[in-house]
Structure 1
């Protein structure tokens, strides 16, 4: 067991030293694609397909609901063979709706295939830009922060997302610039009342124009008498 642990320690040290010799980084492909007009267009088209298929399903469900209501209203006057026939029709309608729903929105259904079809050109463009950045920056490894790999901590110093955006022509002009400042409001400082018995530099209280003690924004300095 001790030999095994020793070998494992040596292996980890070897991997760590090799990793230090290689440059690596990470990108956020979801953030990148969200900035791409092609991706937004693909999502809009995908939503159109989804809404169309969903409306078709809702229309079929309305037809099924109508079949239920008609059967309930006429059940008392139907013969057993007629009841059986109507029940079979309702059951088939239910199965048809479920089958159509699975076909469009189920696992590997039409919506899944259409998403792959529409997103593939965008993903290929991103991967091409990622490859160019990796070669320019001489990176051995570039991780995808939004992928299946769990990244518990990411150092911003190794974030190459902005470089990929620049490669795609989507770089931000204000990158690494401070955000806009808010409106600056000027607040007047509180005025400090002057003690009428406190002498100023002239040796006497400073009366205001109305005969009341003057208010000064700053505390009066000690008189020369107090400095003696």
Structure 2
């Protein structure tokens, strides 16, 4: 197996391991997402090490920033400081829900709420103002879908045990090949809307973040009933999209 050589991604892996080691028994239901996220982060690190991106340094910087938002939410919730609302809803899911549902709900918060903010943090005005550079960034963003598709196939086999797990196999399959790539594409479009807000100043940007908070929180809420995960995702999608200003 190709080792992870990027020190930034390797540190994220170490941070995730520490959160796993420190997880209290009352939060054991959150272990599944942490373990899944750790393995996906390792897969991204291997892809960077193998030269699978046009700009591996940029992808590594994005991955560290993206994971940092999850770690901050996780720590805020653990300390009682209050995580952002999409994460608060995801972390508050019934512990008795199937592990796959916990993964879907937390992944949803991460993709819809964190991903646009992480991308914007590593896209400066030069990136956004250059068609060629922005196109390269977007291609690398899309290449993550290939890493996710390869990794989530293995994750699905881990998660789909038992009667409920087997019933949720179609969710995992459609998520990997259809819903998650579409949601990540929507997140990319949300970056452009947030960037417009950022150019308008702090108040304009805060207003766009508030819109993203509302949309992301509503989507997490949709997924909290496991009986309706597939119909809701099939009809309404997994992602959210900010309307233009």
TM-score, normalised via structure 1 length: 0.24
TM-score, normalised via structure 2 length: 0.23
More strand by share: 1
Larger radius of gyration: 1
